Structure 1
């Protein structure tokens, strides 16, 4: 059978630009989450999970408030992480990215994502529509995994806050990327979290 996996980056965090690693949603982030919930209103969601971080939990709470049939549960497999480490194949432009990541953090991230694939990408039985509210690098690694790309290729994949990425998994077939970073539910002024601003 078919599984649809809806991957969402949390809403914008308050004061993230000041180096705060986790915190509450900004007012703009709350609006992003509300519009995401409206977008998901027509999806027959089967299950929902969120990273236990404050910003992902608050995003999930707003989705729950507006979609009472959806009850997102926390999962440590969705915490932000570094999915792999530097190798000779990593382009020089990305090499500095690993400067602040320790070997232990990289190994923990690699193990976490292997468990996340086993837990959340599991087609079979009845058709499923599962929602994951998580972090930028986790979504990037799911996409890299879907294409069986080189281990470093999550680098360069950036998701906007409350952007919607959809994977389609079917038993015995390659995973399909249905959409990536879909922002149709967000007006331009709410499209945050990208490396470069989108043209108006």
Structure 2
């Protein structure tokens, strides 16, 4: 017999801050600036959630002659994505916001889409991962400029530090996707 899961739905008296709002912050950053930065950072968090899930999926499904080094890289990359997500979510909270979470919040803010649930060949999967990393890197550069323009050096430095990690992992993926790796199968055989 299948049981219906019990969901606890608190009434509004339990809500400390509504989703997608920005409260005053202890950093004394101007409200309009904080709102812009929270919106930008929620996009980062959402993209990281999606990229983490996609990288983790590739880790579970990787196979082939180069599966061990790729698997090791993907496992470590997922850990780095988790660390970045946590750091940025903590910054969102410091700015007076509520970090994006759950499917609705993530979809609302994400700059990338997760691949379908199918099991794809590793080359195609890694190409999508690389595209996700590149999309996030481009967006992060824009958000670094935004933080600089709004006078939020701490957010700018946080994004710069993690941008280096995104770019380094993208470089590794690019190397795995070089012509002489991940054997291509001729469709005419």
Which TM-score applies when normalising by structure 2?
Answer: 0.30
Q: Flag the structure with higher helix content.
A: 2
Report which of the two has the higher share of strand. 1
**Greater RCO (Cα-Cα under 8 Å, separation 6 or more):** 1
